[in-house]
Amino acid sequence: MTVVPTPVPPYPHPSGERAPAIPKQFVPKHVAVVMDGNGRWANARGLPRTEGHRAGEASLLDVVAGAIEIGVEYVSAYAFSTENWSRSPDEVRFLMGFNRDVLRRRRDLMNSWGVRVRWAGRRPRLWRSVISELEEAEQLTKDNTTCTLTMCVNYGGRAEIADAAQAIAREVAAGRLKPDRINEKTFARYLDEPDLPDVDLFLRSSGEQRTSNFMLWQAAYAELVFLDEPWPDVDRRHLWRAVETYARRDRRYGGAVDKPGGTPA
């Protein structure tokens, strides 16, 4: 029998600010994060783009800490997209090594917080050393239940959907699945992380207002919140403000409720 140590709470924010008290039913269960603006943050300071990625590591840790404190159960972080291979070879090499080293440096801390680390993305082209670190972090933290951090490395929403379609086609060709039995629930079982719940809150930094091929299936009904700050300037307080914004929104999932007087909401 595996004995899971009691998680320790994350370090408090240096400002002393605490997570706002929001009823659990209004806290998003799953937050998807696009960590945008690292390169622009660095360029604005006369630094190489890679220094922006380095600075963004602390932001990710702080946001995960804030997620635990406010009660978010799942965080998915867009660490390296299938489109990022088009960047300069030097930046691609840096990002591969950086993602590997972040996992190596931080997995014990995440484990102590009770965070379960998972990986979504394609294996082809990904460095074997990166895959090894991802798998080791998954194994180390597999029994943790405080929060799940999905590192999306070599991930793309369209790629994930295409890969799921290929897997379903193979099942149909083998006679294990009937085409007329395929529905949305069936399809979702073939995604990278089939037990990952739908995204409730989609958070992007640095002023851009697009999803950039992230969690396309899972974020179909997500509430979108865009921050002006580049990712290295983001911390848990930005997440908390975004959760407060989320809590004020009326999520109807395509439905409508008549207000008094017969006017649809």
Residues with a known catalytic role: 36, 84
How far is Cα 49 from Cα 10, in angstroms, rounded to an integer?
29
How far is Cα 16 from Cα 12, in angstroms, rounded to an integer?
7
Q: Are 238 and 35 in contact (CB under 8 A)?
A: no
How far is Cα 104 from Cα 248, in angstroms, rounded to an integer?
38
How far is Cα 52 from Cα 36, in angstroms, rounded to an integer?
10
How far is Cα 225 from Cα 244, in angstroms, rounded to an integer?
11
Q: Are 222 and 198 in contact (CB under 8 A)?
A: yes
Name the β-bridge partners of 2: none
Q: Are 27 and 247 in contact (CB under 8 A)?
A: yes
In three-state secondary structure terms, 246 is helix
Task: For tokens 């406010």, name the residue.
Answer: 70
One DSSP character per residue, 23-73 reads -GGGS-SEEEEE---HHHHHHTTT--HHHHHHHHHHHHHHHHHHHHHHT--
Instruction: List the Cα angle 37/42/48 in 5-degree steps.
Output: 125
